Amino acid sequence: MLNIAFFSAKSYDEASFNKIKNNRDFEFHYHDFRLTPKTAKMAQGCEVVCAFVNDDLSAPVLKQLSIGGTKLIAMRCAGFDKVDLEAAKELGLQVVRVPAYSPEAVAEHTVGMMMCLNRRLHKAYQRTRDANFNLEGLVGFNFYGKTVGVVGTGKIGIATMRIFKGLGMEVLCYDPYENPLALEMGARYCSLEEIYANADVISLHCPMSEENYHLLNEKAFSQMKDGVMIINTSRGELLDSVAAIEALKQGKIGALGLDVYDNEKDLFFQDKSNDVIVDDVFRRLSACHNVLFTGHQAFLTHEALNNIASVTLSNVEAFFTGTPSGNELIN
């Protein structure tokens, strides 16, 4: 019997993993709270810890897990910037992930946020519920013929670009590594500076790294067109939220869609409706009529959840049978 401790587990996680467990000799232990130094003890005796994007996998936590008998960290997401890989290697822990569970899910959510912000669907919904059918303040613009800048042309970036091309948009893109699929669909690679200067919409689809931290900052915003729309469904730390507030106040940013936020770990995936939000930056952003938040929801489709569960359990089986899955993060 192999014991797997799940952290940050929600009802939809339980449903998807239980659905495909089948005859595997696994025992699932679900915890709805985050993995932290205080909660790591709940994994005692579990050979596998299945963690999510905002779980704390710093060196102190990994050490606790190792002492408790954990051999494998199975990330049920693509991102691993919260994992101290050097510490894991020193402790003899392997880390695996799910690199691409549903690029289309994130791509569709990205465009959904664009549509909602542009045509003020969230405002129209509230108005019509109050029998207010006034159209003042709801004027949008056509995406057809506009220029979109895509930062990051991996699987999610490419899936999003396909939709942009379907809308009749001109696609500029930036990535240190050119993707032939982007060129095939008629997108043009250029510098970030050219994207900033020409894009009506900027969409982020790149991983988090030291080089990318606050990629969109005060300097970047100053180079953009007035009224630019920015969508971030990638990583919260890519965008400097404090600088974004100033850019919103100045009209440099015309609309901002955020499915991620740089301090989201204390907010997202939790019901805070009866709490006082103490994050002043978040409060200032959410008070803006042209800012739309979704709580790290972009991945959340039935197809994505099924893929996450399937690949995660395959990763676990591969590790304990000594067969490389191709999703290992430690060589």
Which residues belong to the active site? 235, 264, 296
Helices assigned H by DSSP within 137-209:
155-166, 180-184, 192-198
In the structure encoding, which two tokens stand for residue 311, read together?
A: 């690949």
**Shortest CA distance to 24 belongs to which of 54, 59, 55, 48?**
48
**CA–CA separation, 167 and 211 (whole Å):** 32
**Shortest CA distance to 251 belongs to which of 284, 271, 222?**
222
Q: DSSP readout, 263-298?
A: TGGGTTTS--TTS----HHHHHHHTSTTEEE-SS-T
Query: Rounded to a whole number, what is the largest CA-CA distance in the chain?
Result: 64
Unique residue bearing structure tokens 């232990």: 29
Region of 318 on the Ramachandran plot (φ > 0 left; ψ -120 to 50 alpha; else beta): alpha
**One-letter amino acid for residue 330 of the chain:** I
Paired with 189 in beta bridges are 173
**Shortest CA distance to 120 belongs to which of 229, 242, 273, 245?**
229
Q: What residues contact residue 126 under an 8 Å CB cut-off, 6+ apart? A: none
In the structure encoding, which two tokens stand for residue 198, read together?
A: 């020409």
Q: What residues contact residue 131 under an 8 Å CB cut-off, 6+ apart? A: none
121-129 and 103-118 helices, crossing angle to 10° = 60
**Shortest CA distance to 5 belongs to which of 67, 74, 91?**
74
φ, ψ of residue 258 to 5 degrees: the values are -125, 115
